[in-house]
């Protein structure tokens, strides 16, 4: 008997059948391979994409495609993909469109397949464990590499680069074969959410020492990316490690962490917009004003006078966002086409608006990049997608409190919040681990333990209100 994916998401079959053993193993292998970014494959393909072919084959062989259950989030995902693709009909066609179409379809399949498999509780736990374990193992490599670099003076390449960072100067930035340190930082943003949430999971006989070490390793590796992702990283950690009870005695710590995250966000917004090269303050005395002065002000012949001079320039992060907005205003309906923004940055380079390093850059902003390339056809579904993710994430965050699935709900919600914040500095929609997090959230939302929860709560509320009405009538 072949393995069968039942309507509740469970993988059913004889224990000895190949599919019954292989599908869970391939799922874990795919999750772990997301942390291994080096690949000689063309078109930016990773080894995880090859593994996914096996996962897709096993899923189809198990009859999973015939038993897919649809949720409200699925329709929003379809609208996002369709809006992005439909914009190509009217948009300018300059880049390799087929690659971008294949990437969108691939990410949607990742979401559908893993989301259906994660309806099963055991597979959902394996996927969540895999995300935390992959981030921890990768961070172990990064931490050891930083120590070796400092102690034995090894070269920065191939796992890092020496780069000049505004306000910090020349630093070692870990990338661990990811395309950029920012991309590595975004992956660790999801990893810290799952590791911290798992750290607080009340599992019987569970030792948290190794997870504490994993969290520390992820923190060290994230710090040495020296990227803007630290802001989303902080928000993800805050949500994932949020105490269960609002009346917790640690409420002052939570409030302090929220304030710190907001200040960090504001500071990062400033340093990613302006580069202040020099700041000087001149203090001298000037004659007192000739006009009337309030009697409470000390009347002196000379008043102190301060002059602050700042020499600054805009950073390319800000300029690229301005270019994306200008592009959207010029092509509001369908944009300029998927993957065509580098032609805008190339033109800006020829006009002297950006430097040589940014002549083929992306906008480094999820929403503005989508609006520039797909216009309102793709931008509005993107906003709807994130709104629905927050809706489902918050709903499960509340419903799962006190259950065994609480840590998975907090991990998914925390990772998505962190990536949304990091979307202000990079385009996160092409990240495989984002769609995997969405898939785990989908599997949790469609699992049988929540299908009757809203109705039960509604019935309880109605019974309570009816009882209250009776009590008010009697008394």
Q: Which residue in this structure is represented by tokens 């959902």?
A: 124
Which token pair is 359? Answer: 């002549």
pLDDT for the residue 353: 87
284 within domain boundaries: no
Radius of gyration of the chain (CA): 26
* Entry pTM: 0.85
**Minimal CA–CA distance to 400: which of 460, 439, 443, 437?**
443
> How many angstroms from the chain centroid is the CA of residue 445?
19
9 within domain boundaries: yes
160 within domain boundaries: yes
Q: Which residue in this structure is represented by tokens 């374990």?
A: 133
34 within domain boundaries: yes
| C-beta of residue 427 within 8 angstroms of C-beta of residue 107 | no
| C-beta of residue 17 within 8 angstroms of C-beta of residue 1 | yes
- Measured in residues, the chain has a length of 475
pLDDT for the residue 61: 82
Which structural domain range is residue 433 located in?
Answer: 4-273+339-446
306 within domain boundaries: no
pLDDT for the residue 463: 41
Please list, residue by residue across 79-116, b when 16 or more beta carbons sit within 10 angstroms of its beta carbon and e when fewer do.
bbbebbbebbeebeeebebeebbebbebbbebbbbbbb
**Minimal CA–CA distance to 373: which of 74, 83, 111, 106?**
83
What is the chain's pLDDT, residue by residue, as a tens digit (475 residues)? 334 445 444 545 434 344 567 888 999 999 999 998 888 888 788 999 999 999 998 888 877 777 788 889 999 999 999 999 888 877 766 656 788 889 999 999 999 999 999 988 889 999 999 999 999 999 999 999 999 999 998 898 899 999 888 888 899 999 999 989 999 999 999 999 999 999 887 566 556 788 899 999 999 999 999 999 999 999 999 889 875 544 455 667 667 777 877 888 888 888 888 888 888 999 999 988 887 888 788 878 889 999 999 998 888 888 999 999 999 999 999 899 888 898 899 999 898 888 888 888 889 899 999 999 999 999 999 999 999 999 999 999 988 888 888 899 999 999 999 999 999 989 999 999 999 999 999 999 998 655 544 444 444 434 433 333 333 322 2
| C-beta of residue 442 within 8 angstroms of C-beta of residue 111 | yes
200 within domain boundaries: yes
290 within domain boundaries: no
pLDDT for the residue 104: 93
Distance CA 423, CA 433 (A): 14
Q: Into how many domains does the chain fold?
A: 1
pLDDT for the residue 96: 67
Taking CA atoms, 375 is separated from 87, 101, 190, 331, 429, in Å, by 7, 16, 28, 7, 16
Distance CA 233, CA 5 (A): 35
37 within domain boundaries: yes
pLDDT for the residue 291: 79
């Amino acid at each position: 008997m072949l393995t069968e994916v039942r309507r509740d998401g469970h993988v059913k079959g004889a224990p000895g059948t190949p599919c019954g053993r292989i599908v869970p193993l391939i799922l874990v292998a795919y999750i772990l391979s997301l942390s291994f970014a080096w690949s000689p494959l063309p078109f930016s393909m990773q080894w995880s994409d090859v593994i996914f072919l096996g996962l897709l084959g096993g899923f189809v062989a198990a009859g999973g495609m015939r038993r897919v259950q649809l949720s409200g989030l699925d329709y929003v995902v379809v609208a996002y993909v369709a809006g992005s693709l439909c914009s190509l009909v009217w948009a300018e066609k300059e880049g390799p469109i087929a690659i971008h179409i294949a990437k969108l379809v691939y990410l949607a399949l990742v979401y559908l397949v893993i989301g259906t498999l994660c309806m099963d509780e055991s597979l959902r736990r394996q996927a969540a464990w895999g995300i935390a374990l992959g981030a921890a193992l990768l961070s172990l490599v990064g931490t050891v590499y930083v120590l070796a670099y400092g102690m034995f003076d090894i070269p920065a390449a191939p796992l890092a680069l020496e780069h000049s960072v505004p306000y910090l100067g020349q630093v070692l930035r870990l990338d661990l074969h990811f395309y950029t340190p920012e991309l590595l930082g975004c992956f660790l943003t999801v990893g810290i959410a799952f590791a911290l949430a798992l750290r607080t999971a009340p599992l019987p006989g569970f030792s948290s020492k190794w997870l504490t070490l994993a969290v520390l390793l992820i923190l060290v590796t994230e710090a040495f990316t020296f990227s803007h992702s630290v802001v989303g990283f902080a928000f993800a950690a805050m949500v994932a490690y949020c105490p269960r009870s609002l009346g917790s005695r640690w409420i002052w710590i939570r409030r302090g962490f929220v304030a710190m995250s907001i200040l960090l966000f504001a500071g990062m917004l400033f340093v990613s917009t302006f580069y202040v090269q020099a700041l000087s303050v001149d203090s001298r005395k000037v004659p007192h004003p000739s006009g009337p002065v309030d009697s409470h002000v000390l009347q002196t012949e000379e008043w102190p006078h301060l002059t602050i001079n700042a020499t600054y320039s805009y950073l390319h992060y800000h300029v690229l966002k301005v270019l994306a907005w200008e592009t959207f205003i010029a092509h509001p309906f369908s944009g300029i086409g998927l993957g065509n923004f580098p032609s805008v940055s190339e033109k800006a380079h020829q006009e002297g608006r950006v430097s040589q390093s940014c002549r083929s850059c992306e906008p480094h902003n999820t929403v503005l990049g989508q609006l520039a390339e797909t216009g309102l056809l793709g931008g509005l579904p993107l906003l709807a997608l994130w709104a629905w993710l927050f809706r489902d994430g918050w709903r499960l965050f509340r419903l799962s409190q006190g259950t065994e699935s609480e840590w998975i709900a907090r991990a998914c919600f925390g990772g998505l919040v962190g990536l949304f914040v990091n979307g202000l500095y990079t385009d996160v929609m092409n990240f495989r681990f984002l769609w995997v997090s969405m898939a785990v959230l989908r599997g949790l939302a469609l699992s049988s333990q929540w299908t009757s929860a809203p109705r039960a709560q509604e019935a309880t509320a109605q019974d309570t209100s009816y009882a209250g009405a009776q009590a008010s009538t009697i008394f």
